[in-house]
């Protein structure tokens, strides 16, 4: 890792801190007709995004609705206005979300070499507000890895190699530019909807990139802002060569300060990209300013 990348990793927003007005204007210039895709999954409803079973479920609490007025528990305001009021319990790492740089501990430290003791009771450094305070407005580049597999979801234990990624981008006629957000479609979230929750978690793994020094060099050389995928792990959970669990969370998120956006719904966007052969657009994502939190739900936008 270069000195420049180490410096960025020490900023609580990581590489995002280098994203400036010209980069945002460059991203805005990719928009041609203003069509927009929302990449977030439902939090409640018929198609909620997955969350690791050991993490708490999202909870929606409605504490005033029409039934309260019908029962006389509350009265309309003068003039007849009534209201619905509710609250939520959110999982910072469930469904579509992004990770704060302080999410990962390795060798007793979080990003920037801050002691892990600073995480007790909530992040004192590199929490999600560091990202929220900057905001993410950049070029997004879709790499439709499923298209190279006849549209089928990649096998759950498939490691996406650098050669495979470069071949995909070449097939699409796309070049990655500095400070681009790389969005990888693997089909994992589609598999979750097809298989159902019980089967999905019974033999859990998800396709994705994994630890590879050539990949790290490529990401550094292209100054990639971050990686977003339609998986919860944002990587192959276990490296097949080293046995490491979630190594990219350590070497990319923690050490290099890359953005990690997970659980993106990319199916509809990818279908449109295949139709018009345009795989680049404006990518916007903004987490909630939750002080001390290690991640946040997000509903990213992709505009073409």
- Say which CATH number the domain at 293 has: 3.50.30.50
Q: Are residues 297 and 236 in the same domain?
A: yes
pLDDT of res. 150:
87
Q: What are phi and psi of 140, to 5 degrees?
A: -110, 135
Q: Are residues 163 and 82 in the same domain?
A: no
What are residue 62's DSSP bridge partners?
A: 86
- Would you state the pLDDT for residue 20? 95
Closest CA to 111 of 213, 219, 14, 15: 14
Domain boundary among 68, 88, 108: 88
Strand positions, DSSP E, the chain: 36-38, 59-64, 85-89, 97-99, 136-144, 181-185, 226-229, 259-262, 280-285, 295-297, 301-303
Which segments of the chain have a pLDDT < 70? 1-10
Angle ∠(16,20,25) on CA atoms, nearest 5: 120
Final residue of a domain: which of 88, 108, 141?
88
Examine the domain organization and report whether 144 and 274 are in the same domain: yes
Kindly state whether residues 125 and 176 are assigned to the same domain. Answer: yes
Residues 205 and 225 in one domain: yes
265 touches 39 (CB < 8 A) = yes
237 and 279 inside one domain: yes
Q: For residue range 256-275, list pLDDT tens digits in order.
A: 999 999 999 999 999 999 99
For residues 245 and 106, membership in a common domain is answered with: yes
* Residue that terminates a domain, selected from 41, 73, 88: 88
B/e letters for 68-81, b = 16+ CB within 10 Å, e = fewer, are: beeeeeeeeeeeee
Number of domains present in the structure of the chain: 2
What pLDDT, on a 0 to 100 scale, did the predictor assign at position 45?
A: 84
Asked if 44 and 67 sit in the same domain, the reply is no
User: What is residue 48's predicted lDDT score, i.e. its pLDDT?
Assistant: 86
What global pTM score does this model have? Answer: 0.95
Torsion angle in degrees (nearest 10) through CA of 50, 89, 42, 183: -60
pLDDT (0 to 100) of residue 2: 55
The pLDDT value recorded for residue 5 is: 52
Summary mean pLDDT of the chain: 95
How is residue 135 written in tokens?
């905001």
Domain that holds residue 78: 59-88
Round to the nearest angstrom and report the end-to-end CA distance of the chain.
34
Q: Are 189 and 65 found together in one domain?
A: no
Domain identity same for 80 and 226: no
Same domain, yes or no: 112 and 245 = yes
Structure tokens at 47: 């198609």
Nearest of 219, 215, 252 to residue 233 by alpha carbon: 252
């Amino acid at each position: 890792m270069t000195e420049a990348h180490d410096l960025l990793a020490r900023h609580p927003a990581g590489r995002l801190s280098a994203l400036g007005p010209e980069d945002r204007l460059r991203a805005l210039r990719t928009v041609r007709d203003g069509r927009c895709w929302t990449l977030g999954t439902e939090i409640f409803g018929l198609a909620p995004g997955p969350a690791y079973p050991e993490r708490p479920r999202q909870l929606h609490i409605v504490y005033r609705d029409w039934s309260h007025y019908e029962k006389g528990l509350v009265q309309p305001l003068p003039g007849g206005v009534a209201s619905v009021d509710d609250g939520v319990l959110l999982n910072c790492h469930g469904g579509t979300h992004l990770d704060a740089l302080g999410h990962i501990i390795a060798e007793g430290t979080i990003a920037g070499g801050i002691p892990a003791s600073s995480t007790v009771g909530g992040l004192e450094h590199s929490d999600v507000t560091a990202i929220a305070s900057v905001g993410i407005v950049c070029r997004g580049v879709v790499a439709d890895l499923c298209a190279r597999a006849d549209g089928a979801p990649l096998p759950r234990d498939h490691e996406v190699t650098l050669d495979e990624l470069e071949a995909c981008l070449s097939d699409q006629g796309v070049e990655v530019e500095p400070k681009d957000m790389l969005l990888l479609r693997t089909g994992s979230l589609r598999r979750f909807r097809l298989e159902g929750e019980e089967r999905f978690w019974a033999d859990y793994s998800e396709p994705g990139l994994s630890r590879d020094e050539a990949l790290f060099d490529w990401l550094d050389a292209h100054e990639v802002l971050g990686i977003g995928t339609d998986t919860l792990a944002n990587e192959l959970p276990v490296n097949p060569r080293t046995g490491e669990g979630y190594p990219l969370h350590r070497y990319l998120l923690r050490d290099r300060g890359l953005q990690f956006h997970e659980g993106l719904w990319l199916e509809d966007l990818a279908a449109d990209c295949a139709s018009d052969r345009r795989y680049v657009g404006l990518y916007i994502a903004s987490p909630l300013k939750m002080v001390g939190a290690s991640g946040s739900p997000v509903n990213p936008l992709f505009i073409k």
